[in-house]
């Protein structure tokens, strides 16, 4: 659905996007993350045919961004991080205006507007002025607007930016619903934990360069490889300091230390050791009462912090 090959945008000597290559299959939800100024918005604008690249190629729904701009704009829904609304329009009028731009006519237009308003739970605000909406409602209205023509590809640039916790949850649930409908979605966000249960693929960009592109599982594997051995969390209650001292003495263990916030001992294995089953076995052998044992989870924040340096272009 989306394919980029050496896509590049250069301003003078500055590379905003530097030879970016990626591929999204139908139904993919792609979390596009990076520091401010890393090139996320520039990439999305090029894919939406709103910005011409310096060189490189990209296709969306099989159309080239150079020769198929009209076809791409009909096929996608692009929601920028900030978008304007018309002050003197009601919510229903605002959506009918854009539905008309997509040449949805007559009763079909009214039906479609009602449908998308219901989809984003804004039906009760149909007759309210768009300027009276909260930030969260305005974001949902923006999502409703890009869904009017039922696009198969969605480019969502920071859809949860500036939202309060409840509004972020509502936006996340809407995106998960779109995922279940097999939409192909490229989603940028700074709220990294919220991407974990939405995306099946990740792209990490810094200074215009794509540092990582692959599945979430591949990203976790890359982080483990960079960190060294696997890491486990084990708890024996009040005797955690004793357990840490015991485990640190084994040759398979690179380090063992109490993590007070986790109320557990964090045990990092030496590179090449994957089996941590000896940890509970040896603790029980030394008469510790095991309360919990698990491998330390790698979340998207860990992946992001490990693979980037926080440098912008």
Q: Are residues 209 and 235 in the same domain?
A: no
Give mean pLDDT, residues 159-164. 79
Q: Are residues 194 and 123 in the same domain?
A: yes
Range from 153-157, 166-170, 180-184, 227-231 carrying the lowest mean pLDDT? 227-231
Q: Are residues 197 and 61 in the same domain?
A: yes
| Within a domain: 246 | yes
Is residue 144 within 8 Å of residue 115, measured between CB atoms?
no
Q: What is the CATH number of the domain that holds 297?
A: 3.30.70.100
Q: Are residues 124 and 267 in the same domain?
A: no
Q: Select from 222, 237, 269 the last residue of a domain.
A: 222
pLDDT at 313: 44
Higher-pLDDT residue of 278 and 169 is: 278
Tell me the Ramachandran region of residue 228: left when phi exceeds 0, alpha when psi lies from -120 to 50, beta otherwise: left
Q: What is the pLDDT of residues 67-126, one digit of tens each?
A: 999 999 999 999 998 777 777 899 999 999 999 998 998 899 999 999 999 999 999 999
| Within a domain: 212 | yes
Q: Select from 222, 249, 275 the last residue of a domain.
A: 222
Which residue range forms the structural domain that includes residue 295? 228-303
CA 183, CA 5: separation in Å to the nearest integer?
A: 22
pTM: 0.81
Give mean pLDDT, residues 140-151. 92
Q: Each residue of 150-182: b (16+ CB within 10 Å) or e?
A: ebbbbbbbbbbbebeeebbebbbebbeebbeee
Q: Are residues 166 and 243 in the same domain?
A: no
Q: Select from 192, 222, 252 the last residue of a domain.
A: 222
Tell me the Ramachandran region of residue 139: left when phi exceeds 0, alpha when psi lies from -120 to 50, beta otherwise: alpha
Q: Are residues 98 and 238 in the same domain?
A: no
| Within a domain: 97 | yes
| Within a domain: 189 | yes
| Within a domain: 136 | yes
């Amino acid at each position: 659905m989306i394919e980029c090959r050496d896509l590049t945008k250069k301003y003078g000597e500055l590379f905003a996007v530097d030879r970016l290559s990626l591929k999204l299959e139908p139904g993919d939800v792609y979390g596009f993350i990076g520091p401010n100024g890393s090139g996320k918005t520039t990439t999305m604008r090029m894919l939406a045919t709103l910005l011409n690249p310096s060189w490189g190629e990209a296709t969306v729904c099989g159309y080239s961004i150079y020769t198929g701009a009209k076809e791409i704009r009909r096929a996608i829904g692009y929601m920028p991080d900030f978008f304007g609304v018309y002050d003197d329009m009601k919510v229903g009028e605002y959506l009918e205006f854009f539905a008309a731009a997509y040449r949805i006519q007559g009763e079909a237009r009214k039906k479609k507007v009602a449908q998308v308003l219901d989809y984003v739970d804004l039906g009760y605000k149909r007759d309210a002025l768009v300027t009276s909406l909260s930030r969260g409602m305005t974001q949902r209205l923006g999502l409703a607007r890009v869904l009017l023509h039922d696009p198969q590809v969605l480019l969502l640039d920071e859809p949860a930016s500036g939202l309060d916790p409840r509004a972020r949850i509502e936006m996340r649930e809407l995106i998960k619903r779109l995922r279940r409908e097999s939409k192909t979605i490229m989603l940028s966000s700074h709220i990294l934990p919220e991407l974990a249960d939405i995306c099946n693929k990740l792209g990490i960009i810094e200074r215009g360069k794509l540092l990582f592109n692959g599945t979430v599982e591949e990203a976790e594997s890359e982080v483990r490889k960079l960190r060294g051995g696997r890491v486990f969390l084990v708890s024996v209650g009040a005797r955690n300091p004793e357990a840490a001292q015991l485990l640190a003495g084994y040759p398979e263990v690179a380090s063992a230390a109490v993590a007070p916030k986790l109320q557990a001992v964090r045990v990092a294995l030496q590179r090449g050791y994957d089996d941590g089953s000896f940890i509970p076995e040896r603790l029980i052998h030394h008469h510790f009462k095991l309360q919990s044992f698990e491998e330390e989870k790698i979340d998207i924040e860990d992946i992001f912090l490990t693979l980037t340096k926080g440098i912008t272009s």
